[in-house]
C-alpha cells in the first residue's frame, strides 16, 4: 500500500478566488500571529484541563462505577473540586473569546487546505471550537438551572467534554512544531513575551496590553461569581446564582418541597422511616429518631452548579441505624426519597460513607428542626458528596 506523506502539498486553487478576506494582506493586526495564539492557548488549555478533570471527578462521584471506591474524606473535597470546575469554566469564557479573536484570520488562510496535516489541523479546530462553545454555554445555563433543550444535560455535557478534550489533544499534536518553535527553540532574535510580532504592523494593542486586558477580564468574571463557593467573597460576587447564607435556615435551596411534590407525605403525622436489612424491618417515627443518641457535625453541602455552604447538622449516625438492623459492615445502603420524578430519588452509599461517623440521617440544621425545603422530616448529610446525593425527604433505607 502506498503511503501519502502527511505534508504532501495539495494543488493551488485558482487565484481569481482570492477576494475580500481571502486576498493577500487582508489582515494586518499585530496580534493575529502564532506567538500570541500560543500564549493565550496555553492559558486556555490549562483552564480546559482543570475543568475537564474536575468535571470527570464530579461525574464519577454522581455515577460511581462498581470498580471505583471513593473516599469520604476530606469532607470538603467535593466543595473544592466542583467549585474549581465551575470557576475555571467561567474563566475559560474570556480566554476562549480572545483565542478565537487572535486566530480568526486563519479561517481565511490561503490556500484553504495546504496538506493532509493542515486539513487535520483545521478539522480539529472546528470540532474543538464547536465542542468548547457547547460546553461553556450549556454549563453556564446549567448553573442558573434553566434547561431550554430536550436532551439530558448531564450525559451530553459529559460526553461532549470528552469530544472537546480529544479535539484539543489532536490540535496540540498537529501544532506541536509551532509550539516548539516559539517556546523551546526561540533564539535571541525571537520577540519577548510582552512584545508584538516584528512584522512592521502597529495596528491594535500590544501583546502586553492584550494580556493585561485578558487577565483583568478573567479576574472580573471569576470574582463576580466565585462567591457562591468562597463564602468570604459572597458580597463581591453580584453574578453568583446562589449565595451562601441566603435561604431557609441560612442555606440555599435548589428544589423546594412543593416542587418535589412531597408536602402531603412529609406533613402526614403518620410518617415513618422504614429500614430493611434482609428479613429485618425497622419502622421509626420522627419522635423515635429524636429519642436516639443525637450527633452534631459541621459539613458543607455542595451542588453541581458550583455553590456550597457550610452548616451544623444534627441527627442519628447512619452506621448506628445500620447496626440496629444488623447490617453487615461492608453493606451498601440504598436510600429512597419521597420525591417524585427525580433521577436522584434513589441513591446508594457504600461503606466508605455509611460507616463514616460524619454521615448522618439529619433531623435538624443550624440548631433548628429541618425546614421542609431542606428535607424535613429527615435527610442524608455525608462528607465529600455531591448535593444531589444528599437525599432529602427520606422515606426508606434498604441494605443491599
Reply yes or no on whether the pLDDT at 197 is more than 50: no
For residue 67, the SS3 value is coil
Quote the pLDDT of residue 29.
74
Reply yes or no on whether the pLDDT at 105 is more than 90: no
Quote the pLDDT of residue 103.
86
Reply yes or no on whether the pLDDT at 240 is more than 90: no
Reply yes or no on whether the pLDDT at 179 is more than 80: no
At 75, the pLDDT band (50, 70, 90 cuts) reads very high
pTM, full prediction: 0.86
- Rounded CA-CA distance 187/227 in Å is 44
- Rounded CA-CA distance 43/99 in Å is 10
Top pLDDT among 34 and 324 is at 324
**Domains in the chain: ranges and CATH:** 15-236 (no CATH), 257-399 (3.90.420.10)
Reply yes or no on whether the pLDDT at 190 is more than 50: no
Cβ within 8 Å of residue 243, ≥6 positions away: 227, 228, 234, 237, 252, 307
For residue 300, the SS3 value is strand
Q: Per mean pLDDT, which range of 120-124, 185-189, 196-200, 368-372 is the poorest?
A: 196-200
Q: Let me know: does 39 contact 207? Beta carbons within 8 Å.
A: yes
pLDDT digits (tens, 9 = 90+) for 241-275: 888 888 999 999 999 999 999 999 999 999 999 99
| Mean pLDDT of the 329-357 span | 95
At 6, the pLDDT band (50, 70, 90 cuts) reads low
Q: Let me know: does 57 contact 81? Beta carbons within 8 Å.
A: yes
Reply yes or no on whether the pLDDT at 14 is more than 60: yes
Q: Let me know: does 321 contact 361? Beta carbons within 8 Å.
A: yes
Number of C-beta neighbours around residue 313 at 10 A = 25
Reply yes or no on whether the pLDDT at 141 is more than 70: yes
Q: What angle do CA 8, 13, 14 make, to 5 degrees?
A: 150
Reply yes or no on whether the pLDDT at 389 is more than 50: yes
Q: Which residue has the cell 460507616?
A: 355
- Rounded CA-CA distance 50/168 in Å is 13
Amino acid at each position: 500500500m502506498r503511503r501519502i506523506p502527511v505534508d504532501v502539498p495539495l494543488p493551488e486553487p485558482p487565484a481569481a478566488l482570492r477576494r475580500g478576506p481571502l486576498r493577500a494582506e487582508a489582515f494586518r493586526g499585530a496580534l493575529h500571529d502564532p506567538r500570541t495564539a500560543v500564549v493565550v492557548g496555553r492559558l486556555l488549555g490549562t483552564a480546559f484541563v482543570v475543568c475537564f478533570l474536575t468535571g470527570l471527578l464530579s461525574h464519577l462521584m454522581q455515577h460511581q462505577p462498581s470498580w471505583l471506591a471513593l473516599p469520604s474524606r476530606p469532607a470538603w473535597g467535593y466543595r473544592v473540586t466542583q467549585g474549581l470546575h465551575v470557576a475555571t469554566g467561567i474563566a475559560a469564557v474570556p480566554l476562549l473569546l480572545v483565542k478565537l479573536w487572535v486566530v480568526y484570520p486563519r479561517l481565511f488562510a490561503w490556500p484553504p487546505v495546504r496538506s493532509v496535516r493542515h486539513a487535520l489541523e483545521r478539522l480539529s479546530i472546528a470540532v474543538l471550537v464547536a465542542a468548547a462553545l457547547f460546553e461553556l454555554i450549556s454549563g453556564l445555563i446549567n448553573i442558573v438551572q434553566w434547561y431550554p433543550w430536550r436532551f439530558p444535560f448531564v450525559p451530553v455535557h459529559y460526553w461532549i467534554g470528552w469530544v472537546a478534550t480529544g479535539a484539543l489533544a489532536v490540535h496540540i499534536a498537529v501544532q506541536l512544531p509551532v509550539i516548539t518553535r516559539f517556546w523551546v527553540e526561540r533564539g535571541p532574535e525571537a520577540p519577548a513575551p510582552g512584545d508584538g510580532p516584528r512584522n512592521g504592523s502597529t495596528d491594535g494593542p500590544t501583546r502586553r496590553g492584550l494580556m493585561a486586558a485578558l487577565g483583568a477580564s478573567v479576574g472580573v468574571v471569576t470574582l463576580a461569581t466565585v462567591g457562591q463557593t468562597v463564602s468570604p467573597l459572597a458580597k463581591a460576587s453580584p453574578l453568583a446564582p446562589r449565595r451562601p447564607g441566603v435561604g431557609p435556615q441560612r442555606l440555599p435551596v435548589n428544589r423546594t418541597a412543593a416542587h418535589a411534590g412531597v408536602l402531603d407525605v412529609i406533613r402526614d403525622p403518620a410518617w415513618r422511616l422504614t429500614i430493611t436489612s434482609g428479613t429485618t424491618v425497622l419502622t421509626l417515627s420522627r419522635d423515635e429518631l429524636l429519642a436516639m443518641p443525637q450527633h452534631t457535625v459541621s459539613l458543607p453541602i455542595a451542588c453541581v452548579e458550583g455553590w456550597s455552604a457550610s452548616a451544623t447538622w444534627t441527627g442519628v449516625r447512619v452506621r448506628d441505624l445500620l447496626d440496629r438492623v444488623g447490617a453487615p459492615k461492608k453493606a451498601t445502603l440504598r436510600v429512597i426519597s419521597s420525591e417524585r420524578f427525580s433521577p436522584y430519588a434513589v441513591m446508594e452509599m457504600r461503606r466508605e460513607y455509611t460507616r463514616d461517623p460524619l454521615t448522618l440521617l439529619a433531623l435538624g440544621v443550624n440548631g433548628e428542626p429541618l425546614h421542609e425545603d431542606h428535607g424535613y422530616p429527615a435527610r442524608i448529610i455525608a462528607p465529600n458528596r455531591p448535593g444531589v446525593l444528599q437525599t432529602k425527604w427520606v422515606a426508606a433505607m434498604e441494605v443491599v
